[in-house]
Amino acid sequence: MPMMNLLVAFNGSDGSVAALRYAAALANRLGAHVTALLAHSTHEVIDKRSRWIPKEARALLEAANTDILREIETKFEAERKTLGLTNALQLKQVSGRVDSVLSEAARHYDVLFVGHHADTDDEHVTLHPDRIALMSGRPVIVVPAGYVGDGGLGHTALAWDGGRAAARALSDSLRLLEDGGRVSVLTVGSRGGWPIEDLMIHLSRHGVEAVHEDWPKSHPVATTLIDWCRRHQPSLLVLGAYEHSKFREDLLGGVTAEVLSQIDIPVLLSH
**pLDDT above 60: residue 44:** no
How would residue 121 be classed by pLDDT, with cut points 50, 70 and 90?
A: low
Compute how many other C-beta atoms are within 10 angstroms of the C-beta atom of residue 244.
16
Taking only the tens place, the pLDDT of each residue in 248-268 is: 444 445 788 889 999 999 999
Q: What per-residue confidence (pLDDT) applies to 251?
A: 45
Task: Say yes or no to pLDDT of 64 above 70.
Answer: no
pLDDT of residue 60: 53
Crossing angle between the packed helical segments 14-30 and 164-180, to the nearest 10 degrees: 60
Residue-wise pLDDT for 128-166, tens only, equals 888 898 899 999 999 999 999 888 888 999 999 888 899
Strands lying side by side in the sheet with 209-215: 91-95, 33-40, 5-9, 111-115, 140-143, 267-270, 236-240, 156-159, 182-188, 209-215
Domains of the chain, with CATH numbers? 5-143 (3.40.50.620), 156-270 (3.40.50.620)
* CA–CA dist 30, 24 (Å, integer): 10
pLDDT of residue 244: 45
pLDDT reading at 112 higher than 80: yes
For 237, residues 6+ apart whose C-beta sits below 8 A from its C-beta are 156, 157, 159, 225, 229, 259, 263, 265, 266, 267, 268
For the chain, the average pLDDT equals 86
Which range has the worst mean pLDDT, 32-41, 86-95, 109-118, 249-258?
249-258
Minimum mean pLDDT range among 74-78, 174-178, 206-210, 239-243: 239-243
Read off the amino acid at residue 141. I
Banded model confidence at residue 16, pLDDT cuts 50, 70, 90: very high
Pairing of strands 5-9, 156-159: unpaired
Percent of the chain with pLDDT over 70: 84
Cβ–Cβ under 8 Å, residues 143 and 266:
yes
